[in-house]
Amino acid sequence: MEKFWPELNPFASAYNFYESRFILKPVEKTVLRTWKERLLKRPWNPFQKTKIITEWIPDPDLYIINGRDVYGHPATMARFRQEMNNANR
């Protein structure tokens, strides 16, 4: 399995891990508009078939700030902990 986290400094005495549910990444998806939406929405534009929706997903990256503080989304941190436990066995 690929490493998805940054390389941690082995000479640092301790790291502080922080989780935040607000560390998200935008993903744009193109979706077909319904006929109801095409005919009844303003401004009236029935010829536009698609619309772009922005969804926010957990950011799969970890961020190291000030050399010791590691920030990430809770789902990413859980995956990081699981990978570290598997690596230590």
For range 73-81, the mean pLDDT: 91
pTM equals 0.69
| Token pair belonging to 25 | 């990444």
Residue 88 confidence class, pLDDT cut points 50, 70, 90: confident
Burial class (CB in 10 A: 0-12, 13-18, 19+), 73: buried
pLDDT digits (tens, 9 = 90+) for 26-54: 999 999 999 999 999 888 889 999 999 99
Tell me the backbone φ, ψ of residue 20, rounded to 5 degrees.
-140, 130
Contact 8, 68 (CB under 8 A): no
